[in-house]
Amino acid sequence: MSPKSRAALEVWKFGGASLADAASVNRVVAMLRAHQGPLVVVVSALAGVTDLLLDGARRSVAGELEAGTRNAAAYLRMHRRLVENLVPRGAARRRLLLMVDATAREYRDLTRAVASLGDLPARASDLVVSRGERVSCAIVAAVLHAARRPAQAVDAMDIVATDGKHGGAAPELAESQRRARRLLLPLLRRGVTPVVPGFIGRGPDGSLSTLGRGGTDLTATLLARCLGSRHVVLWKDVPGILTADPRTVPDARLIPQLHHREAAEVAHYGAKVLHPRSLIPLAESRIVLDVRSFLHPERPGTEVSARRTLERYPVKALATISGQALVTVAGKGMLGVPGIAARTFAAVHAEGLSVSTIFQASSESSIGFTLNEVEAPRAVAALRRTFREELATGFIDDVTSRSGLAVVAVVGEGMAGTPGIAARVFNALAQGGVNVIAIAQGSSERNISFVVTAEQAGEAARRVHAAFQLSKIGGGRPPEVAHTDVVLLGFGKVGRALADQLAARNGTSSVRVVGLLDRSGYVFDPRGLSRRRLLRLAQGKDSGALVAELGGRRADAAEALTFVASHAVSRPVLVDVTAEETGDLLRSALDHGFDLVLANKKPLAGSTESHDRLLAAAAASGRRIRYEATVGAGLPIIDTYQKLVETGDRVLRIDGCVSGTLGFVLSAVGAGRAFSEAVVEAMGRGYTEPDPREDLSGQDAARKGLILARLMGYRGAPPAAENLVAPALRRVPLAQFLKRMSSMDADWKSRVERAAARGRVLRYVVTATAFAVRASLAEVDAQSPIGSLTGTRNLVSFTSRRYRNEPLVVTGPGAGVAVTAAGILNDIQYLAAT
Ligand code: ADP
Ligand code: ASP
Ligand code: MG
């Protein structure tokens, strides 16, 4: 390379994920410092900030007035902490802190204003979110400057001229070019690195307009075009452009090179990795765009350019747009009538709506298109107005819309020259039982798109991905070392034991803990939390502190999860070790691409509907749920059930003792201890919930029974459990209960003696079949396997076709922190290995 070309101007864009915290900003600055030639740097808002700002504004409009204040506080905290960590004391730091304070205040005031307006017009929304990019730009410029690479923040409002369409403006090339050259070239000549906020520009009326979500990509390509740069790098937390969204297609692979036009189609059809219009400035140019991993800057990523490679792959990538509606104009009378299509699209265009794909039935008796489902009613109304006469005369039968759909696009330059592509696509879909609602072949023959229901979109993508062997592209290597990244939801005793077991194997195992969340906040490091850090956190938790007080970020769990998911963690697994109603959160984790491991019973043991919704969400997103530790801690109970079924057996009934706590108490009472004493001892040994009545009420055992019954297909209501607490003591405060518990001793004593006289003992037994679940106290033969259980041991027996006369029995310790953690670890290992 000649010295001249080495010094060619490049535009580097850093996405939100690469600006998550002080460590990542430091990494960005180190990369910039190490680069020799001239650079223009374009930055997004910090990870999660755009969502945070929009969320506060939307909630305020919806009447949740404190949301704006709360999110303003979160914004303030995040940015203040970053500035304090990164910028040395002095004037620059003071200026930045003032800016952070002022923008947070403005934001809070804006949310109040839109709340009183009762509406969030696109113009206001643009104003609300714009501060995310502006403040991150100021911070990066200051840190870079302090690190002795001369840098200056330049406002994008002074550079990017747009058509002014709020919420999704298009840049005006000629005007932007004039401004970019005037403002940026003099800085570059002086050796100063301009840092520009992405995503925003100025409309013809002078107001701020954003370029639509993900718009920083477009700012970067636009600036490259304007400044005559030949090279744009988008630094992301994915290794590059993958053959499909890794969150829906787990074996998606890195595409080493794509043509501009292919990348443009992938982006247009909703692959979140690139803004839909980000390739427009590069059309017909020789600019090379690289999408690279800022976590692995030594790797080449994906090159998007005018070259053609990978010709063995007619299909290179898939993309999915969800939340779509299909609007159809239909009528026999349309056949052969010119102008219907033109009038249809003119009407839609006049409404300012944008269509994602056009579908025409081969009979020509209908024409259809997809668009964002929120906009479908407006499109239908506009078309009904346009075709008023044709509808009245019956020339057109009807204008209809169907929502809840997704468009899947299959993209590749080589498709044009390869026969039979469409047939291969549709065979693969048919084999997967995917029902295709409409089909469009792009006129370029560079893509085939089809419409399916949102529920089938994931399966459709996986089927087509497999049919074209896309997991072999680029040599078929997984894009990263295939780590399994574990995020712990809850950091109680079990969570800590698990973290410790995982961290102990750090370095020797592909499983690592990258994040943990409790009700106060979260900590996250995409490279894995070190054992030392986990240990410190565990010690802090032991002494009663919350994650947010131990150096974590303050956030609610949903917010935290969105943040973590905004990083492309590898094969992520969320482990629920809480005892809360986490159903909504778990479904959102599935949407974000997490597999789930549960020790928490509640999400599976609520209403049939909530149980079904969780499993359906997993099926729709192609994710897996494991929950061995919900029943029998580390014992292989669900595993045994599944092995029986997989080998062709049918389980008719499962019963046994599944509560280690009740087992401990009842066997102690049977051996002559007072009931109250046995409960106190169980508490002391950590076998009970903080309030032992949760166990004594049978609730916990009943939940386990319900989970087992549902495995067998049980659809009925959760069972009523037999409560072992005397009615008078059920509702009193815990302290009262403990004081008065001995009032139950005499009764228990006589029950035990009555049973003993008949050679029997008391056990708390759960019975589950496909039709019923029971959780109750039973008298069993003292010599029977259940009768001879001691301590916290569980025993579960499976009666099946094969094991009808002599049930298959699994028995062992069924409670305790270490064994529960081991059960969870087993599930995680299973997910990591398959
Ligand atoms: P940035 O931080 O630069 O804005 P994005 O978060 O917008 O980056 O883009 C990366 C995300 O895009 C990843 O989290 C990934 O899940 C998603 N994605 C969807 N489709 C693809 C694909 N085909 N290749 C790579 N990433 C994809
Ligand atoms: N921060 C904006 C968004 O989240 C723009 C971007 O990241 O490209 O959509
Ligand atoms: Mg983006």
In the three-class reduction of DSSP (H, G, I as helix; E, B as strand; rest coil), residue 516 is classed as strand
Q: pLDDT value at position 1? A: 36
For residue 285, the 8-state DSSP code is S
Q: pLDDT value at position 792? A: 87
Joined tokens for residue 19: 């600006």
Nearest residue to 793 (alpha-carbon basis) of 813, 776, 818, 775: 813
For 749, list phi and psi in degrees, rounded to 5: -60, -45
Whether the per-residue pLDDT at 363 is higher than 90: the answer is no
Atom of ligand 2 nearest to the CA of 275: 8
Q: Cα dihedral angle (210, 97, 60, 57), rounded to 10 degrees? A: 10
Q: pLDDT value at position 551? A: 83
In the three-class reduction of DSSP (H, G, I as helix; E, B as strand; rest coil), residue 767 is classed as strand
| β partners of residue 765 | 776
Q: pTM (2 decimals)?
A: 0.71
| CA-nearest residue, atom 2 of ligand 2 | 214
Catalytic residue of the set 602, 643, 704, 749: 704
| Cα distance from N-terminal residue to C-terminal residue, the chain | 45
Q: Is 704 a catalytic residue?
A: yes
| CA-nearest residue, atom 8 of ligand 2 | 214
Residues 34, 503: Cα–Cα separation, whole Å: 33
Q: Which residue among 213, 234, 273 has the greatest number of ligand 2 atoms within 8 angstroms of its CB, and so is best to mutate? A: 213
pLDDT per residue as tens digits for the range 517-527: 988 889 988 77
Place of tokens 């419409």: 451
Q: How are beta strands 193-197 and 200-202 bridged, if at all?
A: unpaired
How many angstroms separate the alpha carbon of residue 250 from the centre of ligand 1?
A: 14
Residues 1, 7: Cα–Cα separation, whole Å: 10
| β partners of residue 766 | 656, 775
Joined tokens for residue 613: 């919704």
Q: Which residue among 216, 236, 265, 321 has the greatest number of ligand 1 atoms within 8 angstroms of its CB, and so is best to mutate? A: 236
For ligand 2, which residues put their CB under 6 angstroms from it? 15-16, 44-45, 50, 132, 198-199, 213-217
Atom of ligand 1 nearest to the CA of 568: 14
Atom of ligand 1 nearest to the CA of 239: 25
DSSP3 helix / strand / coil % (the chain, rounded to 5): 45, 20, 35
Count other Cβ atoms within 10 Å, centred on residue 7.
12
The helix (H) or strand (E) run that includes residue 288 is strand 288-293
Q: Which residue among 13, 213, 238 has the greatest number of ligand 1 atoms within 8 angstroms of its CB, and so is best to mutate? A: 238
For ligand 1, which residues put their CB under 6 angstroms from it? 15-17, 44, 214, 234, 236, 238, 241-242, 244-247, 271-273, 317, 566, 568
Joined tokens for residue 500: 């410790």
Q: pLDDT value at position 336? A: 66
Per-residue pLDDT averaged across 162-181, rounded? 96
pLDDT per residue as tens digits for the range 456-487: 999 999 999 999 999 988 776 665 556 788 99
CB 50 within 8 A of CB 19: no
CB 254 within 8 A of CB 236: no
User: Amino acid letter at 449?
Assistant: S
How many angstroms separate the alpha carbon of residue 45 from the centre of ligand 2?
A: 6
Atom of ligand 2 nearest to the CA of 45: 1
Joined tokens for residue 173: 């090339």
DSSP assignment of 254-268:
B-SEEEHHHHHHHHH
H runs (alpha helix) in 570-654: 583-591, 608-621, 637-646
How many angstroms separate the alpha carbon of residue 252 from the centre of ligand 1?
A: 12
| CA-nearest residue, atom 5 of ligand 2 | 214
Q: How far is CA 152 from the centre of its chain?
A: 35
Q: Which residue among 41, 134, 216, 566 has the greatest number of ligand 2 atoms within 8 angstroms of its CB, and so is best to mutate? A: 216
Q: Which ligand is nearest to the CA of 566?
A: 1
Residues 40, 598: Cα–Cα separation, whole Å: 46
Q: pLDDT value at position 680? A: 94
Burial 55-80 (b: 16+ CB within 10 A, else e): bbbbbbbeeeeebbbbbbebbbbbbe
Atom of ligand 1 nearest to the CA of 244: 23
In the three-class reduction of DSSP (H, G, I as helix; E, B as strand; rest coil), residue 778 is classed as strand
Taken in order 462, 465, 467, 473, the sign of the CA dihedral is negative
Residues 172, 775: Cα–Cα separation, whole Å: 70
- Which range is least confidently modeled, 215-219, 237-241, 287-291? 237-241
CB 11 within 8 A of CB 281: no
Q: pLDDT value at position 43? A: 98
Residues 599, 638: Cα–Cα separation, whole Å: 12
How many angstroms separate the alpha carbon of residue 63 from the centre of ligand 2?
A: 26
**What's the pLDDT band for 3 if we cut at 50, 70, 90?**
very low
Atom of ligand 1 nearest to the CA of 593: 16
CB 815 within 8 A of CB 635: no
In the three-class reduction of DSSP (H, G, I as helix; E, B as strand; rest coil), residue 232 is classed as strand
Count other Cβ atoms within 10 Å, centred on residue 733.
9
715 by Cβ neighbours in 10 Å (0-12 / 13-18 / 19+) ranks as exposed
How many angstroms separate the alpha carbon of residue 457 from the centre of ligand 3?
A: 22
- Which range is least confidently modeled, 175-184, 375-384, 617-626, 659-668? 617-626
pLDDT per residue as tens digits for the range 175-213: 999 999 999 999 999 999 999 999 999 999 999 999 999
Taken in order 328, 330, 336, 340, the sign of the CA dihedral is negative
Whether the per-residue pLDDT at 340 is higher than 50: the answer is yes
Q: pLDDT value at position 197? A: 98
Joined tokens for residue 480: 């990263």
Q: What protein residues have CB closer than 5 angstroms to ion ligand 3?
A: 214
CB 409 within 8 A of CB 448: yes
Q: Please tell me which residue, 332 or 358, carries the higher pLDDT value.
A: 358
pLDDT per residue as tens digits for the range 232-246: 999 998 899 999 998
312 by Cβ neighbours in 10 Å (0-12 / 13-18 / 19+) ranks as exposed
Residues 263, 276: Cα–Cα separation, whole Å: 9
Q: Which ligand is nearest to the CA of 218?
A: 2
In the three-class reduction of DSSP (H, G, I as helix; E, B as strand; rest coil), residue 320 is classed as strand
826 by Cβ neighbours in 10 Å (0-12 / 13-18 / 19+) ranks as middle
CB 573 within 8 A of CB 502: no
Q: Which ligand is nearest to the CA of 236?
A: 1
How many angstroms separate the alpha carbon of residue 350 from the centre of ligand 2?
A: 28
Q: pLDDT value at position 4? A: 40
Q: pLDDT value at position 5? A: 38
How many angstroms separate the alpha carbon of residue 49 from the centre of ligand 1?
A: 17
Q: pLDDT value at position 392? A: 92
- Determine what percent of the chain is predicted with pLDDT higher than 90: 66
Q: Which residue among 254, 272, 302 has the greatest number of ligand 1 atoms within 8 angstroms of its CB, and so is best to mutate? A: 272
Per-residue pLDDT averaged across 523-546, rounded? 85
Per-residue pLDDT averaged across 261-284, rounded? 92
Average pLDDT value over all residues in the chain: 90
Whether the per-residue pLDDT at 32 is higher than 60: the answer is yes
Burial 178-198 (b: 16+ CB within 10 A, else e): ebbeeebeebeeeebbbbbbb
Q: How far is CA 320 from the centre of its chain?
A: 16
Residues 269, 757: Cα–Cα separation, whole Å: 75
Per-residue pLDDT averaged across 48-59, rounded? 94
- Which range is least confidently modeled, 98-107, 167-176, 434-443? 434-443
In the three-class reduction of DSSP (H, G, I as helix; E, B as strand; rest coil), residue 318 is classed as strand
Joined tokens for residue 637: 């109970």
Q: Which ligand is nearest to the CA of 266?
A: 1
Nearest residue to 622 (alpha-carbon basis) of 465, 468, 460, 459: 459
pLDDT per residue as tens digits for the range 590-612: 988 899 999 999 999 999 999 99
pLDDT per residue as tens digits for the range 677-701: 999 999 888 788 778 998 999 999 9
Cα angle value 368/167/196 (rounded, 5°): 130
- Number of H helices and E strands in the chain, helices first, is 27, 28
For residue 625, the 8-state DSSP code is E
Q: pLDDT value at position 366? A: 84
Q: Which residues contact 603 (CB under 8 A, 6 or more apart)?
A: 576, 581, 582, 583, 586, 610, 611, 614
CB 167 within 8 A of CB 212: yes
Burial 583-617 (b: 16+ CB within 10 A, else e): bebbbbbbbbbbbbbbbbbbbbbbeeebbebbeeb
Atom of ligand 2 nearest to the CA of 15: 7
How many angstroms separate the alpha carbon of residue 217 from the centre of ligand 3?
A: 7
Gyration radius of the chain's alpha carbons: 31
Residues 6, 36: Cα–Cα separation, whole Å: 8
CB 209 within 8 A of CB 128: no
How many angstroms separate the alpha carbon of residue 199 from the centre of ligand 3?
A: 10
Q: Which ligand is nearest to the CA of 132?
A: 2
Whether the per-residue pLDDT at 442 is higher than 70: the answer is no
- Which range is least confidently modeled, 89-103, 410-424, 492-506? 492-506
